């Protein structure tokens, strides 16, 4: 029996998100900020740093939930976080971000099952579709050799179009020569990946690593799994 995400007889194209789908972005981002804050211990105590980071994550979560990512730049997010944690920002936002960029690529790694997903995806025509800045995204893609394992790579900043904008998914369909009904998008973001690809007519698999609830879903995913390895199993059932 054909899997639930597939609307055609056969699966032709597999589209995959990068951050928190293939790569452990949340963990290595935390690591980079942690190292950056440690280096600033003369200006900000460990307790203040922990309180500030909690505020920072809250701000980021809120911006993502509201799809208002452009509202605050990175340094401004830290300025607000420091203020909310009761710390005088001064030059800390600039220094925190400097350290973050210096340490950013150190901890990049695959999520368990991600390489299995890459292997299975390579049996189909495929495309990586990732939101982010050119330098950061390509730095991770090259470090983890993801580009050599996939047919096409789309980085939002290169296109000037960000998920969930349908144009980035239409570009992936163009590159792979697939119809939406013969395609599937796998990603961790309900807002960017699922609510982006679903309305275009592409099948969707949501990787819900952190057990989020579906209540706020704009577009319900066809399938929900908790790891990239489970997504690989679903894709395999669609046969090459
Ligand atoms: Mg992601």
Query: What DSSP character marks residue 66?
Result: T
Residue 112: name the closest of 22, 213, 10, 238 by CA: 22
For the segment 118-125, the average pLDDT, to the nearest whole number, is 96
Residue 125 to residue 231: CA distance in whole angstroms: 16
Residue 3: name the closest of 186, 200, 187, 175 by CA: 186
pLDDT at position 127, please?
98
Quick check: 27 pLDDT over 80? yes
Interval between CA 95 and ligand 1 midpoint (Å): 26
pLDDT at position 215, please?
66
Interval between CA 181 and ligand 1 midpoint (Å): 22
State both tokens at 6.
Answer: 């597939």
Interval between CA 79 and ligand 1 midpoint (Å): 25
Residue 12: name the closest of 142, 146, 151 by CA: 151
Interval between CA 12 and ligand 1 midpoint (Å): 22
Residue in the structure block whose two tokens are 């997504």: 231
Interval between CA 19 and ligand 1 midpoint (Å): 4
Quick check: 14 pLDDT over 70? yes
**pLDDT tens-digit profile of 88-121?**
999 999 999 999 999 999 889 999 999 999 999 9
State both tokens at 66.
Answer: 């509201």
Contact 232, 113 (CB under 8 A): yes
pLDDT at position 57, please?
93
Interval between CA 129 and ligand 1 midpoint (Å): 9
Interval between CA 89 and ligand 1 midpoint (Å): 30
Quick check: 134 pLDDT over 80? yes
pLDDT at position 48, please?
97
Interval between CA 59 and ligand 1 midpoint (Å): 17
Residue 169 to residue 166: CA distance in whole angstroms: 5
Task: Let me know if 178 is exposed, middle or buried by CB neighbors in 10 A (0-12, 13-18, 19+).
Answer: buried
Residue in the structure block whose two tokens are 């695959």: 110
Residue 55: name the closest of 24, 28, 20, 79 by CA: 79
Task: Let me know if 15 is exposed, middle or buried by CB neighbors in 10 A (0-12, 13-18, 19+).
Answer: buried
Residue 203 to residue 231: CA distance in whole angstroms: 12
Quick check: 235 pLDDT over 90? yes
Interval between CA 18 and ligand 1 midpoint (Å): 6
Out of 3-12, 43-52, 101-110, 133-142, which region has the weakest mean confidence (pLDDT)? 3-12
What is the pTM (predicted TM-score) of this model? 0.88
Interval between CA 133 and ligand 1 midpoint (Å): 13
pLDDT at position 67, please?
73
Mean pLDDT of the chain: 93
pLDDT at position 63, please?
87
| Percent of the chain predicted with pLDDT > 70 | 97
The b-or-e profile of 120-158 (16+ CB within 10 A means b, else e) is bbeebbbbbbbbbeeebbbebbeebebeeebbbbbbbbe
Interval between CA 87 and ligand 1 midpoint (Å): 31
Contact 166, 196 (CB under 8 A): yes
In the chain, count H helices and then E strands. Answer: 10, 6
**What confidence category does residue 61 fall into, taking pLDDT thresholds of 50, 70 and 90?**
confident
Interval between CA 132 and ligand 1 midpoint (Å): 10
Interval between CA 25 and ligand 1 midpoint (Å): 8
Quick check: 240 pLDDT over 80? no
pLDDT at position 216, please?
64
pLDDT at position 112, please?
94
**pLDDT tens-digit profile of 143-163?**
999 999 999 999 999 999 999
């Amino acid at each position: 029996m054909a899997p639930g995400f597939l609307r055609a007889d056969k699966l032709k194209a597999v589209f995959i998100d990068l951050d928190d789908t293939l790569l452990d972005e949340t963990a290595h981002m935390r690591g980079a900020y942690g190292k950056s804050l440690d280096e600033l211990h003369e200006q900000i105590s460990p307790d203040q740093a922990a309180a500030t980071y909690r505020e920072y994550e809250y701000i980021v979560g809120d911006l993502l939930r509201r799809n208002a990512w452009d509202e605050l730049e990175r340094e401004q997010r830290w300025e607000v976080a420091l203020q909310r944690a009761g710390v005088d920002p001064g030059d800390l936002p600039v220094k925190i971000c400097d350290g973050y960029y210096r340490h950013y690529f150190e901890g990049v790694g695959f999520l368990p099952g991600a390489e299995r997903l890459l292997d299975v995806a390579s049996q189909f025509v495929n495309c990586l579709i990732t939101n982010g800045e050119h330098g950061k995204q390509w730095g991770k893609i090259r470090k983890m050799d993801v580009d050599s394992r996939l047919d096409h790579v789309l980085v939002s900043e290169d296109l000037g179009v960000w998920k969930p904008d349908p144009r980035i998914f239409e570009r992936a369909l163009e590159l792979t020569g697939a119809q939406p009904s013969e395609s599937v998008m796998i990603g961790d973001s309900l807002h960017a990946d699922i609510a982006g690809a679903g309305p275009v007519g592409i099948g969707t698999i949501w990787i819900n690593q952190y057990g989020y609830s579906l209540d706020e879903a704009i577009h319900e995913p066809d399938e929900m799994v908790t790891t990239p390895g489970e997504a690989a199993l679903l894709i395999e059932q669609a046969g090459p």
